[in-house]
A and B are shown apart, each in its own frame.
Chain A
Amino acid sequence: MKTWVYIDHFQGQELPASWEAVGVGKKFGLVTAIVFGSGVEPLAKKAFEYGADEVLLADDPALADFRPEAFASTLSSLVSSGTPDLILFPTTARGRDLAAMTAIDLNSGVIVDAVALDLEDGKVVATRPVFGGKLLAKMACSASPQIITLRGRAFPKPEHQPGRSGTLTKVPAKAEALTRVEGYAATEGGVSLTDAGIIVSGGRGVSNNPALTPPAGLDEKQAEIWRAQQGFKLIGELAAVLGGAMGASRAAVDAGYVPYAHQVGQTGKIVSPDLYIACGISGAIQHLAGMRSSKTIVAINKDAEAPIFQVARYGVVGDLFQIVPALTEAFKKRLGK
């Protein structure tokens, strides 16, 4: 089976899920990595080092910014002459867009966000969560090539083999696009939730620290948000010590404590880190749907009956305002920070 893997990146910085997809493709045979962008030849080299046998590189200033039409047309034009059996993408904003358009161009379908792939009668059968992770669906595509996006962190990252190389083929870009990229905003470093190996999340309970006195002159809502921000500072500090990302429940986002980008759950991000620490989160079904596939879950909550404890490996019934800073100190000591 010939597999193509789209290497998703932002301004040359690849998303780790791209390498996971290369690893998946290797299980089925030869892997061709698809690298589009401007000045992205280093990425092509990296693709070989993560296992790609061949790289199709479209390196063109017209591809400097991601525009789905241009990228999809470039990709589709290659398929007609190369015909892979399977095209894999990481499930990202760009991966979804590109997979969607390419499928239309190639008269095929897309299976999005797979967490497992199996080969049955020469066809790939994908397992993917639906209904916000409450159910799993086994899906297959009768058309060719099969187009599948893979959930980040659902597959192992292949070994990095420095110096490994393969066949690099330069291909032309199809630059026509219907959109113009004017710039970027709110692009911050830090670990994105979906890539994070460790997530520390806060819920509405994070605003309830009785020991705090808000500065004078705040109205009630402002005082509540001020309290919550102090609380989330503790959450963020623990996340920072662990090298992880900060998450939040929908209740905390809706109350205006933290931006939506941090929301974990059915209408936020679906995550599956190695370690998920839920602080002051009771565990509404929508939240559980978004994080229950995390490998180890730790819950800190003052209500011993909170549903979050039903999915937790370790539980602490207590005051998060004392436990979380103590945990930060304990890890600082142990991790030598």
Chain B
Amino acid sequence: MDFSLSQEHQMVQKMVRDFAQKEIAPVIKEHDRKQEPIPWAIKRMGELGILGICFPVRYGGQGMDYISLGLACEELEAVDTTLRVVMSVHTGLCGMTLLQWGTEEQKQKFLVPIARGEKIGAGAFTEPGMGSDVAAMQTTARREGDVYILNGEKMWISLASKADYALVTVKTDPQAARPSQALTSFIVDLHSPGVKTGDLHGKLGVRAGSTGWISFTDVRVPVENRIGEEGEGFKITMSAFDNGRYTVGAGATGLIRASLEASIRYAQERKTFGKPIAEYQLIQQKIARMAQNYEIARLLYLQVGWMKNQGLRSTLQTSYSKKFATEASFEAAHDAIQIHGAYGFSDEYDVERYLRNARGAIIYEGSSEIQTIIQAGYALGQRSDRPLRCELPAYDPDTWQE
């Protein structure tokens, strides 16, 4: 057993950290205030290869491993959640699902430009009337010869108005015996006729991020854009969530770190009653909790990264990581505000943004309640991993470079 990061991992960490700190940190506050995405951020992440970090070189990626993906997410979210959200939906939900379930042709056609950052990907599962309850899904596709006709609306979709492609799961068989067999997934070109997208405003957090809706009105999607078989949509969506949640857990770890570092800095500078507040035990308690939770969250996501590298299924471990880190990040930001006192309540400091940004991740990509049910299911033996027709390929340093 080896808990150390390789030199390669450390260099990845530093490179992503330098980018986020130098280029994003100085401008994020204004964009968050204005509720506008940083217009060049995604393009820049693409140029630097971050968007394709964990894909094999032959699919346009950078050939790094899944741990590197997690480390990048931690560094990005330590500056702002919006950056990590891009990794979750573009790289996690969309790209990694193509890597896992796509045919060779689909990988060449869709994954390559996504890995290079030339095209932006999203994942569209949630609907206005449905989140975790897939049986309630109302977006449909019906086959007509070589095309499927899509109708319906997806909501709360990150990058909805920015993406070129979306991995979309819809109902193809309303008569299916089990709701999970009713679903099919597609990679949809969002520039197709009949696709409309828009942004949602008034979010509590992730305000410099793009969240929106996508509506489909008789959108014709060629059969060759179907990912997997008809009826495999549920499994594919769950695979997508395994990948997306990994990035959420890793990112939330960065948010804990950001709260911790801000708190340490402030507690050592700020004096009350003649001494730095860091010397008071009630402050120390909060800082110790953040430090401990950061360590736990980090170990949890690194374990998932390691399992992914080995080609092991990690639905349960990902659930632990995602639930623990997102909840702990909210707590950490909350404590950080308390440490900052009235300043923490003002947007002059970053910690209030951390709190607002932390909140969403306890809901999206499987709420804490869903994670609890998953965890209980495994613990009670009611749930187990059955082999999938397509597993996420294990990381291989040699073939990844080809």
Contact = CB atoms under 8 A, between A and B. Distances in A.
Nearest to A310: B269
A204 B27 CA distance: 10
A305 B26 contact: no
Nearest to A251: B26
A199 to B, nearest CB: 23
Contacts of B348: 302-303
Contacts of A255: 26
B378 interface: no
Contacts of A302: 348
A305 B39 contact: no
B343 A204 contact: no
B32 to A, nearest CB: 14
Interface in B331-347: 343
B-side binding surface: helix, strand, loop or mixed? helix
A220 B37 CA distance: 12
A220 B30 CA distance: 11
Nearest to A219: B39
A16 interface: no
Interface string B145-177: 000000000000000000000000000000000
Contacts of A251: 26
Contacts of B269: 305, 307
B107 to A, nearest CB: 36
B201 interface: no
Contacts of A303: 348
User: What are the 5 A-B residue pairs with the smallest beta carbon separation, nearest first?
Assistant: A303-B348, A251-B26, A305-B343, A220-B39, A204-B26
Interface of A: 204, 220, 251, 254-255, 302-303, 305, 307
A254 B18 CA distance: 14
B51 to A, nearest CB: 22
Nearest to B31: A220
Interface residues of B, number: 7
Contacts of B22: 254
A247 B39 CA distance: 30
B203 interface: no
B65 to A, nearest CB: 33
Interface of B: 22, 26, 39, 269-270, 343, 348
12 contacts: A204-B26, A220-B39, A251-B26, A254-B22, A254-B26, A255-B26, A302-B348, A303-B348, A305-B269, A305-B270, A305-B343, A307-B269
A303 B350 CA distance: 13
B29 to A, nearest CB: 10
B17 to A, nearest CB: 17
Given A251-B26, A302-B348, A305-B270, 5 more contacts: A254-B22, A254-B26, A255-B26, A303-B348, A307-B269
Nearest to B346: A303
A303 B269 CA distance: 14
Contacts of A204: 26
B240 to A, nearest CB: 33
A234 to B, nearest CB: 20
A220 B208 CA distance: 15
Nearest to B340: A305
Nearest to B265: A307
A305 B39 CA distance: 31
A204 B28 CA distance: 13
Contacts of A305: 269-270, 343
A307 B268 CA distance: 12
B349 to A, nearest CB: 9
A187 B40 CA distance: 35
A302 B348 CA distance: 9
B215 to A, nearest CB: 29
B106 to A, nearest CB: 36
Contacts of B39: 220
A302 B39 CA distance: 28
A251 B348 CA distance: 17
Contacts of B270: 305
Nearest to A208: B30
Contacts of A307: 269
A298 to B, nearest CB: 21
B21 to A, nearest CB: 12
Contacts of A254: 22, 26
A161 B39 CA distance: 63
A220 B39 CA distance: 9
A56 to B, nearest CB: 49
A251 B29 CA distance: 15
Of A220, A251, A255, most B-chain CB atoms within 10 Å: A220
A204 B39 CA distance: 20
A204 B343 CA distance: 20
A303 B39 CA distance: 28
A80 to B, nearest CB: 50
A302 B349 CA distance: 12
Contacts of A220: 39
A222 to B, nearest CB: 12
A220 B343 CA distance: 29
Contacts of B26: 204, 251, 254-255
Contacts of B343: 305
B269 to A, nearest CB: 7
A150 B337 CA distance: 48
